[in-house]
Structure 1
């Protein structure tokens, strides 16, 4: 029995008025009876919800009735399941015994228990990739840093069931119509989103290379922004591959079927192929990619109940960790070498960012944050700091992948901010005239911070170990689309040796001992700060010391009648 209703996975009200008598003669009424899901293999049934009960009481006889075995020993006892596996330890606590389910049988213990735990961890790190495909990548040694994994048929991920369940599935046809990367690009847009991203974005442009199935995503406020990104991507891929692109394929949306796209394809010698109206499977390569990215983002947001305004970061991460195809990864097909995944972390997990600057001796050395994505142009992680609400890019960070970040500071919005539905159901785009302009994005409902999803990705997985021989990083966002991000400075041990002689305290030819060097450095810094002068009047008026000094000078003028 317990008095905490938040622990129950299911509750059934009771009709009879049963009461529990406490030690101090007070009584508590049994309001409901339900089940508590401790872990996927340990469920407490017929637990009574008692009002005003300040303790959580567990009956040994009830455990025995459920098929569990309790072994009492001196020092530490154990609860075992029907197969003899350890469920949780029981330690003496005064004259009673105490069970800590969070540290004994919770998800944090499961993640490091055995081979299936490692499989679960990498399943979550890679955006809930299917167990069969994950085991296939591991057995063929297609990715560096991925341990040997074996798929198990009895493993069921509830988040995958919630996020990927469909009424029926179509037959997947893996037909590649090109001979090398960059010959044919499949394009489509997703949106509008029901919730604006942190930077006010509503749409996602998804582009897939036909040969390698390498994908790019680009976040937009309106569909009219698609042309600039496609224009730059085509030129960039031409420089990278050394051969001309052959064709583009898209639906009949106004963002693709307009005069600007027509003129660009004509000037570059590109064939622009369109799918038939209301026949989405003709553009099925990118349509399936859209579904994959949205499903991965949906369940990553749902796993740790991350606010929906971070949907762009979730899609960003989903595109970064995806791209498996046939017997090789998209990265290897495009760049000719295997990617590395040892730096990947679970989306939405708790992390700790090292604080920089002059800290007090007893001040905490790190700030709590939420892992969101990977930086595009640097070897860093993108983290949302809970104390300031900023998104920073830093490599000075450690992760706790077993704990979701569910502190009060994390739950910033109302109930409509957390959910699984991201995008509106978009109708199939039909043909439009060539001079029709794309629809403009609706006005934002409220002002939003510009600490948005970083350059909508995607740089290669080996961005974390680049060498001068690596191919250039291809971010899916242009420089003008980059949002403002606070980058944590890296600590430097370099010492500036050139100083103006006027700032040096003491004789230039005198020796400096270790004891003197510390005090001299302190005095030199104080002297430098004291000699600092403002640049203009506004700067001086912002300093109280300068204002007082000016008042004293004016009083001297009046006193001396100057």
Structure 2
């Protein structure tokens, strides 16, 4: 679509942008650069010069910039054809300007920007327009200067700006109509002085005059690496841009060239500066870096000119990509570079911008007493929830003692509630007050960000303020400022990973492992304190005799008020931690998948329960028929996995009623006897085992798998179990089927018996795997008994 002049240019561009949005909705997306190109193609011939200006640009415009520039171009074309943006004049009337042009018509131009000399014929010696003397012109007339001093008019002429656009104050603009350099501020001024009566005012194009505040010297660093000094520069705060006078540069011996939207400044055929035409206001802007106190002077009385010194360390520092001074010294010492002058090598702003790093963390100031400073941090969420569904944990660490508290939480919003409980406990126990709390700037501590992007204090911060506790927050992006908590989190997670990896317990028990790790860290030495955290916190030395390996198997005796006389007194379980409010241990029962606490237990820490040989793997691999290798006391056993053989006795190991099978009644009586003997303390069993040979005592048969593995005949029992398992496989005793819905599977257990001859000598060890039919209840698991048999006569 073409722009035919109906409406304004803004409406035309917005209509094309709307069409592009419709195409994008149809999955025909048009890039912004291509849309700008289409808009330029749709403009009529009146905008041809505008199109050429766009093609000369290095940077591409956005659609919004194109709209702004097109609107300005449209307004410019509506105005008069005469240039109204910038002009210079010394009078208000047109007649005076014509007379001035006639008076200066005979002057020969010293330099032309296009390089073409124009020779004009002179019809006699020129005369002064004011006094009619042939020896000089009006600008050099003594009477004219006396009149100007009397009126207080400065000799400088500058342009007057009509079109007002936003101009950066640190830019310098080339002005062919100004007779002096103009600066709008004192920034970058090397030295200055007050103006005299002749330099007091500057006349602008509309006939008005503006006041000059000072006369100074400015230094510019051009993008080519040259330095340029402007002396006798007028400082006029009422101006909107810094102006560079072309006529003053010309008098100083410089050559200015304009063309194709580019400006170049040359000295002795060397280009020392460049500029470019801006399309927002049609002015040339000088390409500079910043102002520096270096050498290259320009003034009306003569210019001291100095090009780059090849021995300058600053120049070579930039040529070599801003490398360090030490590396430049090596190049000089190796003979790659000649001796350089390092006196001009000062602080490089570009190096600071490109290489700035975080400042070195200062040494922390330690507290002198407990509760003076508490470090806290929230960690999570973890991939899997803990046993009770928590996915986060929050820690509180005392800076003086390094004693830590740890709480498992479901959400970060629980941080304040947990801190209140922690505060009440520690302040009551130590009879002291918390003074400072150090944390990061997380939302649970500092507060959330509102709609304006500002972080407002949250409930946690307000509670600290109410309690008179001084909060200490880290800087954004500086977690190392809360290094105590961050390091504690890393240590805890490393310990938990190692503990779970060494054990055979499910991953959701990471919460219990985390509490155990905190319990241990409070009782072991730390580099930050002379004594252990527990001793500094409580004043007592810690006792470590009760510590056990996390995740080790154990026979624990829980409190069961409904326990029957023939029930097993212990439960085969795993140690998972220490009781928080009691003197006892916490255990995990894999059979019931529950956690209980008790103070009576026997731990099997010497059992290799990690790595490839995991006893608990047998429990969960019910459908597998492979025979994994299990290690107990440096012995190996091939245990069947097709049935729940090993772990089921943890819940109930005693037969309450006889089973109707072909076995004699004597073994059941012996089992009843063995159950009664299990009530004897475990240390007495150890005593009997240690004194078996000297006293000639006979070891009783074990009543469960754990006792069989701890007995002196453990290898014999392992061989017996392998023999029983092989026999059952050969006879195809079982078939693997799916468990019907609503039914409960019947467990099984091992029966161990030592076969002896008439003299009491051991003949063999027998192990039998039997089903626990006594666990069935009439009316629930079965309704009638049935014995399948057939008479031999019926078979014939």
TM-score range, shorter chain: 0.3 to 0.5
Does 1 or 2 have the higher relative contact order (CA < 8 Å, sep 6+)? 1
TM-score normalised according to structure 1 size = 0.41
Compare CA radii of gyration and give the structure with the larger one: 2
Normalising by structure 2, we get a TM-score of 0.29
